[in-house]
Every structure is written in C-alpha cells, then in structure tokens.
Amino acid sequence: MDLNVIQIILVVIIAFLAGMEGILDEFQFHQPLVACTLIGLVTGNLVPCLILGGTLQLIALGWANIGAAVAPDAALASVASAIILVLGGQGKAGVASAIAIAVPLAVAGLLLTIIVRTLATAIVHFMDAAAQEGNIRKVEFWQIAAICMQGLRIAIPAGLIVAVGAGPVRELLTSMPIWLTDGLAIGGGMVVAVGYAMVINMMATKEVWPFFAIGFVLATVSQITLIGLGAIGVALALIYLALSKQGGSGNGGNGKFGDPLGDIIDNY
C-alpha cells in the first residue's frame, strides 16, 4: 500500500511524538498500543495495526529502565513495525511478520537511545552555561532542542522506511523464509510470557496469588469474551480492596489481613 503526502506527514508526526513521549511520558504516545493504533488510523489500516499494537504492548510489559540499564526501544519497534505492516499490504496476515521484525528493531533502537542520551549530556552543559549567564530563553531553547532530538530519533527512521516505498518492503516480507518468521514469532510469544512474569513478580503477594490463579483459569474458557474477563477482573479487584479494608480496620487497625503494602509503609 502506497501512502499519500498527507498520510506520510501524519505518520512522521506520530513518530516524532512517540520519540518525545519516550522521555516526557505524559500522553503515552510511545506505548505500542497507542502508536500502532494512531498509525493504523491515519493510514486506513486500523484493525491490523490495533492487533499489532496490542501484541507488542504485551511484549513490552516487562521492559523498563533499571538503573543504568536502558530497556529496548518500544517506540521505534511500534512505529517501524506498524509502517512496515501498512506498506506490506498484507493486512491481518502480515501481523506475525511485523511482530517478528519489531523485536530486533527494539534492540536496534536501544543503540539510538544511547547515542541521543549521550548527545543530551553535552546539551546539559550548554544549559548550565546559559543558566550562569541568567539567559532563561537560552535554557528553554536547549531544553526544547534536547526533547526534539528524542523525537527525531524515531521520526528519521520512520521517514526512511516510508521513503523506501511499499514495493521493496513487500518484497522483503515475502522473501523471509517460513522458519525465520515462525521462529521469531515463537520468540516473541516467549517474550510476552517473560513480560507477564516480570509484572506478576513485582505485584504478587500471597494474598493476591489466588486471584491470579482464578484469572488464568477463566482465560482458558473460550466462551468468555475479553469484555467479560475485564468485568470479572474489575470485580475481583473491588473484592480484594473491600477485604483489605475490612482486615485493616478490624481490632483498631491491627488486623493480620490488611494491605501488605500499607503495612510496609506504616512500618516506616
């Protein structure tokens, strides 16, 4: 599928916003579900891009910056794979190939992130010098420049992919051997499981493990839709909150079954 000029401009703008949001973290444009959905919306491929974004969001659940360790670049993976999916013109059938491409792109985007952050370190010194001069406008300029660098980190690769055109992208996707796409798809599924495991490891306590077990069992029942599972999840969360309040308020607030996080905070 070839994109017109307006669609190309909108895609580059979305990519630019996704890059900036990776640092600002305000409107979540860098999240796979948001970035892929917006690209699908402006290119007329909403459903395939929405499926892609939802799958990549599950993969990115466990990605987080810890100390000096920088997580893979979810923004670049989302934007680039969504553009490739659109240009490939395969619709829902091309989602698996796009996911297979997304994970290596996320690792490659990690290098771009390190480069941009290294350059941003030099900009900090310029801002310090401007602050010593009392030039507030200059400080604001360098601040905006640093944020725009983060946007260009995603916008430039997105523009290059669009410039390549639909023909070469389609040839690339069709030339990929089955063993490669299947292997990368299986690997992507394993990354989803790892992401879930990391999130559960951060959230799990002995009080909430039964709720996790109930959720996994209900998820295997094919007759229950996602809306039904969501409603059950909300109901279980409300039940847990109610039980936590009852346990914490009994015996003058010293109940043994109160909120574990609240007990830890109270100890401090």
Burial class (CB in 10 A: 0-12, 13-18, 19+), 144: exposed
Number of residues assigned to the chain: 268
Contact between 43 and 173 under an 8 Å Cβ cutoff? The reply is no
In the prediction, which pLDDT does 16 show?
Answer: 95
pLDDT of residue 10: 95
pLDDT per residue as tens, the chain (268 positions): 678 899 999 999 999 999 998 888 888 898 999 999 999 999 999 999 999 998 888 878 767 666 556 677 888 989 999 999 999 888 887 888 788 788 788 878 888 888 888 888 889 899 999 999 988 999 999 999 999 999 999 999 999 999 887 778 777 777 777 787 777 767 766 766 776 777 777 777 777 888 888 888 888 887 888 888 889 989 988 888 888 887 655 444 444 545 555 555 565 5
CA–CA separation, 52 vs 94, rounded Å? 9
SS (H, E, C) 194-239: HHHHHHHHHHCCCCCHHHHHHHHHHHCCCCCCHHHHHHHHHHHHHH
Residue 241's pLDDT is 85
Q: Does residue 103 contact residue 184 with C-beta atoms inside 8 Å?
A: yes
The count of other CB atoms within 10 Å of the CB of residue 172 is 15
